Amino acid sequence: MRIEQLQAFLAVADAGNFGQAAKQCGITQSTISRQIQALEGELGLPLFHRTARVKLTVAGEQLLSRAKRICLEWDNATRELAELRDGKQPELCVAAIHSACAHYLPPILQQFCRDYPEVQLRVTALGSDRALKVLRDNLVDVAIVMNNQFLTASPETIVEHLYNEPVQILMAANHPLTQHDRVPWSELVSYPQVVFKDGYGMQRLVQERFEKFGATLNAVMELNTLDAFRGVVRQGNAIALLPQGALVEAQNDPSLAIRSIASTQAIAGGIEDSNLTRQVVLVTTCDRLLIPPIQHFCNLVRQTLQKQQRKEEEYIA
């Protein structure tokens, strides 16, 4: 059964004449006759009495209301999909890591709202693992997260690199580690750590680095907001390993200090690079990039962050 057959059936039922119905549908009378015959053959029952004025049979009467509902649903679906193709979607949903939400996305969100004022923009701050899950569950359109190849390895997924940022140490202003300009791992590992909750890529990154150096991560507290990290760290000797983008507010706080991690460390008689960075990526799916508002948002993210990176490079130079 094809939708064209049901549409032909409704046209004949409405017109009471095959010729007039064919004109309404913009097809030949022979074509509409073949469609009705094929439908009757599939159903195994005649739908019309072929008299001077075509009338519905008992089977035709029973099919009529259902055919109307099916064709109405089809019309609604094709209209909604055409609007989606033309960029007339009601909302765009984004899940992003906290630091991106706080410091990188605001100008992008403002520009998008100016460009697509009719699209409701919804942004949620989530850990990377959770953000990728809601993307897979079709609850959001775009995720901006810490890269995790195990969670983004699927044929339909598009992963675009945005930026790399170093991981640094947040501590109280009077912490013993402030004596170092760059803190060696051998001293860093002896202090209690405040870490992100399970499901955040940063917790996994820090845990893997400690394991790599054969050290035990003494995680005394798990948190999930940057305000909480700053509040806890300034109260004692616990430290937190956080990406540079998460430390913007702390830079101007006199009760806090930020230190980099020493770039090399002697390990088992050799020298091993201990630079710790995280890679932030934009993740969406191939089909979503065909929708104009989503495509435009991804372009804005890419262009804005590229400009920002060039400015930072010029500043450093």
Dist. CA 263–CA 275, nearest whole Å: 5
Tokens of 277: 């960075």
What are the angstrom distances between the C-alpha of 235 and each of 181, 195, 229, 261?
21, 15, 10, 22
Dist. CA 31–CA 22, nearest whole Å: 8
Of 162, 156, 161, the residue nearest 284 (C-alpha): 156
Dist. CA 64–CA 12, nearest whole Å: 11
- Does 267 share its domain with 284? no
User: Rounded to a whole number, what is the distance in angstroms from the first to the last CA of the chain?
Assistant: 68
- Does 287 share its domain with 153? yes
Ordered alpha helix ranges (H), 16-104: 18-25, 29-43, 58-85, 98-99
- Does 55 share its domain with 155? no
Q: What is the pLDDT of residue 317?
A: 45
What single-letter amino acid sits at 200?
Y
SS3 (DSSP) at 105: helix
Q: What is the pLDDT of residue 156?
A: 87
Q: Are 211 and 200 in contact (CB under 8 A)?
A: no
Q: What is the pLDDT of residue 271?
A: 44
Q: What is the pLDDT of residue 267?
A: 47
Buried b (16+ CB within 10 A) or exposed e, 190-225: ebebbbbeeebbbbbbbeebbeeeeeebebeeebbe
- Does 283 share its domain with 159? yes
- Does 74 share its domain with 9? yes
Q: What is the pLDDT of residue 123?
A: 95
- Does 273 share its domain with 174? yes
Q: What is the pLDDT of residue 84?
A: 72
- Does 153 share its domain with 290? yes
**pLDDT of the chain along its 317 residues, tens only?**
889 888 988 989 888 888 888 888 888 989 988 999 999 999 999 998 988 788 999 998 999 999 999 999 998 888 878 877 776 678 999 999 988 888 889 999 999 999 999 999 999 999 888 999 999 999 999 999 998 877 777 788 999 999 998 999 999 999 999 999 999 988 988 999 999 888 788 888 888 888 888 888 999 999 988 899 999 999 889 999 999 888 988 998 999 999 999 875 444 444 455 578 899 999 999 999 988 999 999 999 999 887 776 665 555 44
- Does 143 share its domain with 292? yes
- Does 213 share its domain with 255? yes
* Domain tally, the chain: 3
Q: What is the pLDDT of residue 37?
A: 92
Q: What is the pLDDT of residue 312?
A: 59
Tokens of 294: 């989503």
- CATH assignment of the domain containing 131: 3.40.190.10
Of 24, 4, 10, the residue nearest 54 (C-alpha): 10
Q: Are 124 and 197 in contact (CB under 8 A)?
A: no
- Does 10 share its domain with 49? yes
Q: Where in 89-192 does DSSP place strands (E)?
A: 91-96, 120-125, 142-146, 157-172, 182-183
Of 98, 129, 130, the residue nearest 225 (C-alpha): 98
- In a 10 Å sphere around its CB, with 0-12 CB exposed, 13-18 middle and 19+ buried, how is residue 271 labelled? exposed
- Does 113 share its domain with 44? no
Q: Are 9 and 47 in contact (CB under 8 A)?
A: yes
